[in-house]
Structure 1
């Protein structure tokens, strides 16, 4: 039996991991799918003070307060920023890291640093036009190439997201670099230069297992069986 902590990305919540979590639990594993502060079932806590560091502490504190050990810590998209920061704080608790079409930041980098310029411009236009100067409305599921049958469900669940989570840089001590088991799963059906750059950077690194699945950005929604199999590999 293994312990998994599955961290969602921007606009999402713990709900997006339901299919993967069900499969892992059926196999006898312990699974945590926390929702980050200000999103989904915790959207009543959304405020301009919510930043990347808030979300890093959400996960680091979960690991600590639940006394978790030998954890497979997984992050989707923006969740890669979060798990990197949390793993750096609680490295002794982590067995392996799994990045699902996610950012893999270095010390001092923010999510905005690697986003394409047109996406950065769109984000700031959105916060000026509808986001009261600090939040971004959800990106439609169709833009993430979510399968058509699930697009309405995903759109109904997504909530607004603070831009400070994308602009605040992560601060790392280097402890995360000592975690030996690292996996990167790229969504082959979703065009994203920032994640292609991650694949290019990591593919030649022997510490990383890099692979691709033929689906849209929300791999845990589109291909839960295949993603579950990767996660179970990561706990071996």
Structure 2
């Protein structure tokens, strides 16, 4: 073996080690960036819905490396066997707050759809210090002392403990008949007490740093127009409008909503 052979081998070895070091460093940087960009989402569905309504969005967020907790409120979907006359708004507020507290979640983006704006507003009174952003997706925005029924009137059958799940959907709900069939196969009755009890608020919702409201005007409801209007007049809220989707944008346009959530978190 000549001196030049030794020198050549050392040089090749040094180059290989350098390339390996660069690869490790690049990998570490990419990993660190991905970790720093990771966000935690808590997703709450509206009336008659459970965590199932978020499946498409959950899948997309998790593929991007985010942590996602889609919650089914007591008495609905896979928890429909717990339906009783004792379930009220406080029950659903506790569902949300307990998830956050028992999972030790912080720096959360809390996402509420439709009716869920009521229990989510109440839950912020308990866990608002753990929430860095909120997104109200065509969601009710109650004031202190208001109930869902105060904002959305409906008849009550005497002695009923729940509101029956819908057996049909508006023509504007979904463009795909398969989505209509899937949703109708999943919806369950809504515990009536959750719509009757008023919420107690001290302003925790308004103290959240980043607030986004999404209005889906194909779904016509005065309470949602009112909520969007209030947010538009408040500079602390960002208001977005999607004129192509029905009320359940997480099902109809999951790519669009996923992109909005990541930017809003």
Distance in 2 of aligned mates of 1:183 and 1:170: 21
Corresponding residue pairs, total: 225
In the TM superposition, what are the counterparts of 1:1-236 in structure 2 within 5 Å?
Answer: 1-115=38-152, 117=153, 120-121=154-155, 124=156, 127-128=157-158, 132-140=159-167, 142-143=169-170, 145-147=172-174, 148-213=177-242, 214-235=244-265
- Give the CA deviation at 1:144: 7.6
Deviation digits for residues 92-149 of structure 1, max 9, x if unmatched? Answer: 100111101110111111111111x4xx13xx1xx34xxx522111124523832133
Q: CA deviation at 1:177?
A: 2.2
Runs of 4+, deviation exceeding 3 Å: none
In structure 2, distance between residues paired with 1:209 and 1:61: 28
Which structure's relative contact order is higher, taking Cα pairs within 8 Å and 6+ residues apart? Answer: 1
- Helix, strand or coil at the partner of 2:247: coil
Cα deviation, residue 200, structure 1: 1.4
What TM-score does the superposition give when structure 2 sets the normalisation length? Answer: 0.82
Q: CA RMSD in A?
A: 1.3
Cα offset for 1:174?
A: 2.3
Q: SS of the counterpart of 1:37? A: coil
The gaps in structure 1 that reach 5 residues or longer are none
Residue 172 of structure 1, CA deviation: 1.6
Report deviation, 1:153. Answer: 0.4
Quick check: which has more Rg, 1 or 2? Answer: 2
Deviation at 1:188, TM superposition (A): 2.3
Q: CA 1:153/1:135 → structure 2, altered by over 3 Å: closer, same or farther?
A: same
Per the alignment, residue 13 of structure 2 pairs with none
SS of the aligned residue for 1:5 comes to: strand
What SS is found at the alignment partner of 1:194?
helix
Q: Structure 2: any 5+ residue segments left out of the alignment? A: 1-37
Tell me the CA shift for residue 4 of structure 1. Answer: 0.2
